[in-house]
Structure 1
Amino acid sequence: MAIESQPALTASDDCLVVFRTQRSNVRGRLVRLGKTLDAVVTPHALPDVPSRYLSQAVALAALCGSPLPEGGNLNLQTRSDGAVSILVADYAAPGRLRGYARYDADKIAKGDALGDGHLALTLDPGPGEERYQGILAFENTPLAATAAAYFEQREMMPTFIRLAVADQFIRSQNAAPAQSRWHRRAGGLMMQSAATQGRDDDDEASENWRRVEMLAATVEDHELLDPELSMERLLLRLFHEEAVVVERVIPLSSFCRCSRAKVENVLLAFGAADLSDMRDESGRIVVTCEFCTAQYSFSLGDLKQAQD
């Protein structure tokens, strides 16, 4: 559906718009995250730097994973020697997100948040399909630039990616100061040439890509994040001369795969001596999910009963 003839079709937050430009044959994805990002990031109580990088990773996972069919999964990971040593973000099609980060507090003040490391993208299209993993090394490079380089080098697909993260202060509706707080927001734009596929000899397609890439590069962070600016209006602002067509709108939400039963099954694989060593001062085994921070507490008696 062409945007010019349609009213606003999307929610202001927590959705991803898949679109294309008819004139230049370039495909794009636009994501904006509010409450969903808050639900993923806030439980981890991270300092500002790792929280920002995790927010970027979650938005990037949505952009990269959105083409997957229902039941597919994209896992994005970075491992590095920087302050943020590990980033993990999952996109489960259609539209579910989770993630976590590990960091070194002593390195945060020194900058060099990501440092040198590698980005790994693992695609699982779903039952009966073959999984695929691609890895790209980076050297103190922004996450968006690293991901764009991955698609250009590994997939031979010209790619533009812009990510933005900011905080928004939301006042409680009942005016209770204790319930008013800052919320993290993220947005992103990803453009890929559907025609060139790395073919430098196609002059028209290359020119189309350069023109759209220049237009995409004019997007401002506040435009990617502003819930008062509809996503359709933003696409028209950027690409009105390219005849933008919205192909799909994907609502986004947070999720986790953990459960007490799954954790119990993992613990039951350990021997009695190992389980005894896992107990805390209260005599219980407490397991915390890395993704959602949910805690599951077991006594040795609980596990023995489950085993019987």
Structure 2
Amino acid sequence: MPVDPRPAAPEIAADDTVVVFRTETSNTRGRLVRLGQTLDAIIAPHKMPDAASKALSEALTLAALCGSALPAEGNLNLQTRSNGAVSILVADYAGAGRLRGYARYDKAKLAEREQLKNPNGGGGILGDGHLAITLDPGPGEERYQGVLAFEGAPLAATAAAYFEQREALPTFIRLAVARHYIGARQAASSEQRWHWRAGGLMVQSLTAGPRDDDDNAGEDWRRVQMLAATVEDHELLDPDLTAERLLLRLFHEEAVAIERVIPLSKFCRCSRDKVENVLLAFGAAELSDMRDDNGRIVVTCEFCATRYTFSLDELRARS
């Protein structure tokens, strides 16, 4: 008999959460991510073209899906390096659901892509390259990194192939990103603008192997994979569709149950003191060359876009 997860489920916020669930009938484990204000807070300060912002949003959503499987003190770093218009993506998931990230891109290539109206999505943006996932389970545990090459593949497909090939875990991943307009009825006038939203669904079999074609475990996995594939982008992004309703809509015949909920937030490890310590490692001549037209040294954090300004006199006084 289908199990409705709502009565026993923890309270779930509409946005900025990872919902960890399982399907009891088919023995699969999954995670559903919804990102709203947290994603916008990470993306907006970078003032990137929409295509680069979308690529970074996908990477952050994927980092939340994968990182939330680690122990509470675990960390995950996801990086892509490629020859596409977006050449580098970096997304970090730190314990307790904290996210940060940045992207490097070629403005000329993005402009060419926009003129061509290339329909290939994230795969076309990234081109050919490598995806690296570094897992740090926490204190006392050994770090692990896996690398997988990709050729024009979307980020979700590349990550699913990584888990199937490197971890022997049959995996389904769907990512969705869009901009959402918040108008006068939904927010104060100062906040009436376009905001970034993202959603992601990841399901993995706990019993089936990558090549299980005939046994019951393989059949269960194929059924769940087909059900997961019916999810639409608008369902992952709709703040009015609760996580409980969406999971029940997708997996009601699989006895779906919610196990826990992880809130997501923005973070960064930079600080003025840390930047200052880095600068103090340079010699006087190098520091002098770093000055801008106003005679100041300005350092911008790649992750949070915070600008730190120093004078030579200030640095000399602390050296």
TM range (shorter): over 0.9
Distance 2:245 2:185 in 1: 28
Equivalent of 1:83, from 77, 85, 92? Answer: 85
Distance 2:9 2:285 in 1: 64
- Match of 2:296? 284
State whether structure 2 residue 40 is matched by structure 1 residue 38: yes
User: Deviation per CA, 1:257-290, whole angstroms, max 9, x where unpaired?
Assistant: 0000110111111111111111111111110000
User: Deviation per CA, 1:10-40, whole angstroms, max 9, x where unpaired?
Assistant: 1110100000000000000000000000001
TM-score when normalising by structure 2:
0.92
Distance 2:125 2:186 in 1: 39
Contact 1:286-1:298 within 8 A present in 2 as well: yes
Pair 1:145–1:203, CA change in 2 (3 A) = same
Helix, strand or coil for the counterpart of 2:276? helix
TM-score when normalising by structure 1:
0.95
- Report deviation, 1:6: 4.3
Helix, strand or coil for the counterpart of 1:301? helix
Distance 2:57 2:311 in 1: 36
User: Deviation per CA, 1:189-235, whole angstroms, max 9, x where unpaired?
Assistant: 00000112436277011000000000000000010010100001000
Equivalent of 2:155, from 126, 129, 143? Answer: 143
State whether structure 2 residue 80 is matched by structure 1 residue 68: no
Distance 1:153 1:287 in 2: 40
- Match of 1:303? 315
- Match of 1:231? 243
Distance 1:179 1:251 in 2: 23
- Match of 1:59? 61
- Report deviation, 1:103: 0.7
Distance 1:256 1:240 in 2: 39
State whether structure 2 residue 227 is matched by structure 1 residue 215: yes
State whether structure 2 residue 319 is matched by structure 1 residue 269: no
Specify the code of the residue in structure 2 equivalent to 1:104: D
Structure 1 stretch displaced more, 5-14 or 138-147 = 5-14
Contact 1:24-1:212 within 8 A present in 2 as well: yes
Equivalent of 1:128, from 134, 137, 140? Answer: 140
- Match of 1:157? 169
Contact 1:2-1:246 within 8 A present in 2 as well: no
- Report deviation, 1:137: 0.4
Q: Which runs of 5+ in 2 are unaligned?
A: 119-123
Pair 1:175–1:133, CA change in 2 (3 A) = closer
Distance 1:137 1:225 in 2: 29
User: Deviation per CA, 1:153-209, whole angstroms, max 9, x where unpaired?
Assistant: 111110000000111111246987554100010000000001124362770110000
Specify the code of the residue in structure 2 equivalent to 1:252: L
Helix, strand or coil for the counterpart of 2:131? strand
Structure 1 stretch displaced more, 274-283 or 235-244 = 274-283
Contact 2:209-2:218 within 8 A present in 1 as well: no
Distance 2:64 2:310 in 1: 35
Helix, strand or coil for the counterpart of 2:269? coil
Contact 1:8-1:232 within 8 A present in 2 as well: no
- Report deviation, 1:129: 1.6
RMSD: 1.7
- Match of 2:99? 97
Q: Which runs of 5+ in 1 are unaligned?
A: none
Distance 1:222 1:6 in 2: 26
Distance 2:97 2:91 in 1: 13
Equivalent of 1:29, from 26, 31, 37? Answer: 31
Contact 2:9-2:258 within 8 A present in 1 as well: no
Distance 1:306 1:63 in 2: 43
Pair 1:226–1:174, CA change in 2 (3 A) = closer
User: Deviation per CA, 1:126-156, whole angstroms, max 9, x where unpaired?
Assistant: 2222111110000000000000000001111
User: Aligned residues, how many?
Assistant: 307
